Structures are given as structure tokens and as C-alpha cells.
Structure 1
Amino acid sequence: MRLSRRQLFGAGLAGAGALALTGCGRGGPDDRTTLQFWHPLSGGDGIIMAGLLDEINEAQSDYYVRPTVLEWGEPYYTKLAMAGAGGRAPELAIMHSARVPAYYPGGLLDPWDMSRLAELGVSEEQFSGPVWENSVIDGELWSVPLDAHPFVMFYNTEICEAAGVLDSDGQLLEPDGPEGFLDICRQIADYTGGNGLSFGFLGEPPQIWRLFYTFYAQHGVEMSFPEGGPAEIDDDAFIGALEYMARLTDGEVASSRGDRDSSIAEFSTGQTGIFFDGVWELATMNDAELPVNMGMIPTVFGTPVTYSDSHCFVLPHQQDPDEEARDHAYEFVARLLEGSLDWADAGHIPAYLPVTESSEYAELTPQSSYADAIDHVVYDPTAWFTGSGSNFINEVGQMIQGSMVSGEGFEDTLERFRSYVDGLLEGTNPVDPEGSHG
């Protein structure tokens, strides 16, 4: 999926932003109202989204959803902010949930009308607590979640069974604390003759942050980045998570020089038994035809949580929205959520519970085996600078990598992190036209 994304971008997505700056109106097939819909989805999930849009466009004659695919990351969020500030935003867009707090304070987004959604069968009761709560800010719903895409564990059932680390139900054994998981990995390594775990971290700051914040939050704490600072960080949890990651990548449990591609190759060729990555790598493992099951990152520090973000629908601010088009935007989102079973093919967990609690979803393997992760996800600390694709994640991942590689300097890394975050908290949100904090 990652290769497909790179290939697609190489074919010319960089110029798509210029084509996207158009508003709603007539002009769709059969003179239907056209809904402009921006998203950064490409590769496997982009193909699935295109299929869902085709189904909705063909199933009714009131509106036509016209997608524009833009380059993921900062380029996408910059274009979205410019469109909202200039009053030429699309009717709908996809954002990562953790990026929404940067956009709503400056009026770049419009809140969703919860009563309007409820009339269409979309309300709090249809979503897990963590996912819905992350969409509500200051009592208003600023995003409608499409999924959760957590950081998870893949494991080769044949290798793990041979290594003696599966229970009677064929699931990986629950580790008895931090040492217990290290023992499981070493037991697998004894069988494979190499490493027990594959984790690509070298030169991969997002991977590092995802696993780090998982282990940090498993201590039963979260970070808080209040407006103006200072950051609220649990020192023991920070250092504990960092020390444990250094132990995992000691060259015995997992490679001390593993990058993303090498870790995928290592696991997909049967050289290890466990692989840490995002749910989006499910397609890669299916292509490799491995006997794979999946689950949450093992709970080694007491609290069962794992890092995640969500793709969500937002209403970019329009100075004079077309009410007919906005009605259709609500209808489209409700219809897509109801039909989001196919979205699980990309590995993502559909956020709409009537889908994940259906008999059809229960038959999906291995998707149904990790569906409960949606009740235990933890998102980035809320701040204007956090979230998927942010510079924050890249900077922090590089800081942590240094301690992982050296196996020392954990306290120094904590102080560097604290100083870095406090500096950001004293600054201003660059996408807030009012120039306010947070």
C-alpha cells in the first residue's frame, strides 16, 4: 500500500491542489448538485474510497460527490487551511482526527449539527467512547469519525505455535508485564534463529512516536499540552516507555538497525514471529499470503491502550454555504458510514458500530480479531501542533531514536522533549487567523 501511494504521487498529484479550488453548484451528471470532496487517501484505501463513492453516486440522483485527491501530510493540511480562510472550501473533506484541534479555533471548520445527524441515524450511541470523545471539542462536534487506524501487532500463527507462545485458542499469550513480553520474543527468536520481533524505527519518526506513546499511555497516564504551557508530562512513564523501547531494539529481541522496509521484509519472509505496525499494512501481509493474526500492542504496563488516529469527515468553513448542498453532505456521510464494511478491507476499523457489530464483520479475518482495539485507542495530546503528518511527530521521533540507538540519555531526552513542547505552547497557531494559542 505504501508503494502504491508513492507511485501515485509520483504520477503527478503535486499539482492537484490547483484543480481543487472550486465550489459547489450544478454540473454533476444529470445536472445534480455537485459536492466537492477533498481527501488524502491513495493506494489501497484510496481505491476502496473510490468504490464507495461510485456506489453512492449511482444509488441516488440528488447529488454527485466529486473527489479531489491531494498529497497527504503538510501539503494537504496547508491547502485545506488556505481554502477555508479564503472562503473557497469544498463541501466536505477528510482530516485526521488529531489535526482537527489546530483548525477549529480560527474558524477554518464549521461544526456538525448533531441533531441533524441524529435524524439520519448518526449519533453518539453508534460510536465507541474514545473515538466519539475525540471528535467533540468544547461541547461541539467538529468531526465525524470514519474509522480508527491503530498501531497494532501482527503475528505469524505458524511460527508462534511452533515456538510455543500461543494459547489454547490460537491467540498469542498475554505477557506477564514488560519482562513477560521480552521472554515471548526471545522464545520466538530461539525458534527462528534470528529476532523474535520486527519493528522498523530507524529513520521512521512516526513509527517511533506511535509505539512510544502507546507504552507511555499504558502506564495509565496521558500528556496534557495546555494553552500557553507548560506541558504536563509524567516523568516516570516517559522514561519507562523510552527505556523499554531501547530494550526491545537491542539486536536480540528486535533488530537494532531495523527500518520500515527491512522490518516488513523480515516478517513477511518468516524470519520473525511478531511485527509492530499500523493496521494499514494488512494488505501487505495478505499479499505475502502469511498465516497472520492480529491484536492490540501487548499490554506490558498495566493499561490496555494503543495509539491511533482516525480518518474523519469535516465541514471546511464556507462564508455562504449552499444549504441544499450542505443537506446532501450530511446525507452522504450517513450513507457512507452505513456502507463502510468494505472500508475494513484497508485494515482500518470502521467507526460506525452497527458495521463492526454486524455478522458480516464478524466473518472478516483477521479484522474481527482486533476490532476491540477501537474501545482502547489513545490519540495524540491535544494541541495545534500534534497529529498525523505533523512536524511535531517528526521532531520527537528523532529525539527518541537517539536514546533507542544509544541505550542511554533517557533523562536528557525527556528534558529536550519538555523544552521543545513548551516552546511550541508559547507560540501561536499558524492556521488560526486570529493568531491565538492552541
Structure 2
Amino acid sequence: MNSGSPQLTRRALFGAMGAGAAAAALAGCSPMQRAAVTGTGLPSDLVTFWNFFGGGDGARMTEMVADYQATYPDIPLRSTTLTWGNPFYTKLALGTLSRQPPLVASCHVDRLVTPVDTGLLRPFDLDELAEWGITEDKFFPRAWEASHRHGELWAIPLDFHPLAVYYNKPIAEQAGLLTAEGTLAEPVGTQAFEDMLAAAKDVMGTPSTGFLNDAAGHYRVFYSLHSQAGGEMVSEDGRTAILTKEVFLEVVSWMRSLTHEKELLVRTIDPGGAIANFVNNRFAFFFSGGWERPTFVDAGVDFGIHSWPKVYDKHVAWDGTHSFVIPTYDEDPARIASALHFISGMLERSATWVEGGHMTTWLPVQDDPRTQEIQPHYENLPVDGTLYDPQAWYAGSGGNLQTVIGQPLAACTQGHISVEDAYDQALAGLRELAATEPPK
């Protein structure tokens, strides 16, 4: 699916109007559209793009890149997919330090700290961006804000995908959990959340889902709940571990009660098993970000996606954002123009990304009626905002923070260690990370 902005062709435009009308039409076009119509101003430098997208995300990014190439066949482009997580960032660092970086790279916004602080990235100039129609007012505010560090913009955000509750609509309807509009009724508070799980269990005869037993799955739920209840994990600079104890004990005790005393969640389930159970109507719910949407659409599941609910005091939830960055190399204007042209092209094509379960940050596409027709999708967003990982070198998607917090949490909810032991282990791991010098 292309972007909300129509792709203009020289033949279509000039065949439909005279030269004067054409000039007037061009005045309202984006820089990319003007270049496409007139055949001038297109970058000639090779665009090299490194990304880490696999699975459904990889297929959609390939589709977006292919559409860009088809629209601008004279622009040389080489897109390379590398291994997700730490290996990608290591490769990006080595390529940049050896002066062989890509022109553009993908980056998780919550992984910006190290490449920014070690001088691996080029900041974006706002006036330069404005020449390409890339301005703050066209972005989802929270993602734009999270793309800054030390007062400068280092990334152009593509999406956001907060923690959500997928729900099986027929099961939820039988359990009396839907509103008159056919969406999930918001379970506000711990008791309402338990009542939701209990109602589904009554229909199914078994627990209706479980916390994913990987570290990241537990971490996202915990980080959302801990933050809702007013807890803090680390200081603003990431160098001091906090992990508010009374909040941790309250939240994790409740999480553990759902898998043990109350038996409302299965004690352990791996991500693949949880997906299979949801696909086969054996689970009423699935806790994850929006990226699993294509799996359930392709399987023909009748489902909805509701934001993680307000269980404690504030309605916030974990969030993540994929973005585009420009590695440090040189300031050749032709290279920078090529990079910005490509990034703008990906933003304009981000309706395809929405089909993959993400929310596009690019409001011209997000607000397009054609994008709104991509359903099911997020029904709502957390009222009090979304949460990115702390700005610390060890945080972010695939980072060490998720492991040192998520592993003891999983062991606790599965019944292997106590809540107190989980706290002690998580705090010890967090203190070690916070005390470790960041990469230079």
C-alpha cells in the first residue's frame, strides 16, 4: 500500500492541464513530488540502507523500498538486512568507525544513547529537514520527543507500537467483555483486570493467556505496571539504580498472584506457543506490541487490539519506535540530500508499515482515510502517554536492561523464586549495569 500522498507522474500531470495550471499544482507538491514530476533535483549518489527488519516487518520494508525504487528508477539504491539486536549495532559501529557506513540506517529510538554519545551519528538540522517537508508538526509528538538527545534531533521516527492487549472478539463477547461498539471494555484497576481474565476463563474453562516467558515479554508488562504505580528504575542519567522497592513488590506480587493463587494466567508460555494458542482460539488474550497483527490477520482470527489498560494510578504503557539515522561520514550536500530523499520516501510509504501492526508517526499518512481503514488496529492509546526505556547505554530493544529485569520476573511468576528474591536479583543486575562505564 502506498502512502497517503498520491504518486504524480509527468504524463498524468501535464496531460491533464496546461503549463500554467501545472505550475500552480507543483507549487503545492512536496519536494519529492516536484522532483518526480519535473525530473530534476533527484539524488544521483548511491543510497545504501542498513536495517534489521525480519519476518513481517522485513517483508513490508522490502515492499516500501521496492516501491521507492520503482518510483525513482534512476536513483541507485542498495538495501541490506542484518541480524536484529546487538549484532546490528555492533556492525553499524564498526562500519562507521572504519569509514564505510551506510548512508541511512534503521535504529531503535531507545538505543540512541550509545551511537549518539560515541559520535557515530549525524544530528539532523531542522532547517534542512524543512526543505524536504519534514517538520515537527507532522509527527506523533511523543516519538519526535524521544528522538532527541542533548537537545538535538538524532533520528527520524517511523513508527510507535505500545504494549497492547489483543483479544479474541467471539470469546470476549461470550464473556460479556465488549462495549456496545464491539470493542474491549477498559478494565480499570487490578480487580477489573482480574474480572476480565476470570470472565474469559469461565467461558473457556482454562486460563485465557499468560505472560510471555521471555525476558522482554515480562519486562514490557512490568515496566508498564511499575511506571503506572509511580515506580522508578534508574536516575535520569542512567548511572544510579533505583528500582522502587515497595512498588516493585506490590506489582510483582500481583503479577505472581495471577499465575498462582488466582490461577487466571498460565504459569509459563513461550511466545510461539502463545501465538499458536491465540490463532487457534485457545487463548482469549495475547499481550504484546502491535507487530503481531499480520500473523493474526493472515490466520483469520476475529480480534481487536486494545492498549495496555490503566491497572494502577496512571494510564501509561511501554512503547518502542523504529527510526532512521544518518551515520557520521562527511557533510557532502549530495549525500545528505540522497539520505533525506530516501527517508522522506519511506515516511510517505508508511501506510504499508501500518499494515504490519505499527502506528506510523507520520501524521499525513496516519490521518489519511485509507490508513484509517486498516483494521483491526489499535483502538486507543494510553491516556497519560507512552513510555520509552530510560536513556542509558544498557537500555532499549534487545538491550541488557530487559534481561536483568525480565529474567528474575519470569522466574518469579513461574514459581521458581520468591518476589523478594526477584527484587534482589533485579536490583543487583541493575546496579551492575548502572555502575559499568558506557562504551567510549
Q: Secondary structure at the match of 2:117?
A: coil
Matched, 1:168 2:180: yes
Matched, 1:101 2:113: yes
CA contact (8 A) 1:96 1:310 kept: yes
Larger Rg: 2
Q: 1:351 to 1:221 in 2, by over 3 A?
A: farther
Partner of 2:334: 324
Report how far residue 257 of structure 1 moved: 2.2
Counterpart Cα distance in 2 of 1:237 and 1:116: 45
CA contact (8 A) 1:153 1:277 kept: yes
Q: 1:176 to 1:37 in 2, by over 3 A?
A: closer
Question: Counterpart amino acid of 1:382?
Answer: Q
Partner of 1:289: 300
Of 204, 223, 230, the residue aligned with 2:233 is 223
Partner of 1:401: 410
Q: Secondary structure at the match of 1:38?
A: strand
Q: 1:106 to 1:49 in 2, by over 3 A?
A: same
Question: Counterpart amino acid of 2:207?
Answer: N
Q: 1:359 to 1:368 in 2, by over 3 A?
A: farther
Of 318, 323, 334, the residue aligned with 2:344 is 334
Counterpart Cα distance in 2 of 1:410 and 1:221: 16
Question: Counterpart amino acid of 1:275?
Answer: F
Of 386, 402, 408, the residue aligned with 2:395 is 386
Matched, 1:265 2:276: yes
CA contact (8 A) 1:41 1:72 kept: yes
Report how far residue 149 of structure 1 moved: 2.1
After TM superposition, which residue ranges in structure 1, 4 or more long, deviate above 4 angstroms? Answer: none
CA contact (8 A) 2:211 2:218 kept: no
**Higher strand proportion, which one?**
1
Report how far residue 357 of structure 1 moved: 1.6
Report how far residue 403 of structure 1 moved: 1.7
Matched, 1:244 2:283: no
Partner of 2:201: 189
Question: Counterpart amino acid of 1:380?
Answer: D
Partner of 1:416: 425
Question: What do the CA deviations read for 1:377-405 (whole angstroms, capped 9, x no partner)?
Answer: 21111100111112332232111112212
Counterpart Cα distance in 2 of 1:106 and 1:398: 29
Please list every run of 5 or more consecutive structure 1 residues that lacks an aligned counterpart in the other structure: 1-29, 433-438
Q: Alignment RMSD, CA only?
A: 2.1
Question: Counterpart amino acid of 2:215?
Answer: P
Counterpart Cα distance in 2 of 1:198 and 1:422: 29
CA contact (8 A) 1:157 1:292 kept: yes
* Matched ranges for 1:136-147 at <5 A: 136-147=148-159
Counterpart Cα distance in 2 of 1:218 and 1:93: 33
Q: Secondary structure at the match of 1:242?
A: helix
Counterpart Cα distance in 1 of 2:144 and 2:234: 19
Counterpart Cα distance in 2 of 1:113 and 1:186: 53
The alignment covers a number of residue pairs equal to 398
Report how far residue 139 of structure 1 moved: 0.7
Question: Counterpart amino acid of 1:156?
Answer: N
Partner of 2:322: 311
Q: Secondary structure at the match of 1:116?
A: helix
Of 389-398 and 159-168, more deviation after overlay is shown by 389-398
Matched, 1:210 2:223: no
Partner of 1:36: 48
CA contact (8 A) 1:305 1:377 kept: yes
Partner of 2:79: 67
Counterpart Cα distance in 1 of 2:123 and 2:321: 17
Question: What do the CA deviations read for 1:99-128 (whole angstroms, capped 9, x no partner)?
Answer: 111211110111111211122221221222
Counterpart Cα distance in 2 of 1:419 and 1:407: 18
Partner of 1:355: 365
Report how far residue 192 of structure 1 moved: 0.7
* Matched ranges for 1:46-125 at <5 A: 46-60=58-72, 63-125=75-137
Counterpart Cα distance in 1 of 2:168 and 2:96: 46
Report how far residue 375 of structure 1 moved: 7.7
Question: What do the CA deviations read for 1:206-228 (whole angstroms, capped 9, x no partner)?
Answer: 11111111111222454334447
Q: 1:115 to 1:238 in 2, by over 3 A?
A: farther
Of 410-419 and 259-268, more deviation after overlay is shown by 410-419
Report how far residue 368 of structure 1 moved: 5.1
Q: Secondary structure at the match of 1:248?
A: helix
Q: Secondary structure at the match of 1:159?
A: helix
Report how far residue 407 of structure 1 moved: 7.8
CA contact (8 A) 1:199 1:277 kept: no
Q: TM-score, normalised by structure 1?
A: 0.86
Counterpart Cα distance in 1 of 2:134 and 2:364: 10
Partner of 1:365: 375
Q: 1:368 to 1:76 in 2, by over 3 A?
A: same
Counterpart Cα distance in 2 of 1:63 and 1:37: 13
Counterpart Cα distance in 2 of 1:425 and 1:292: 41
Q: 1:227 to 1:218 in 2, by over 3 A?
A: closer
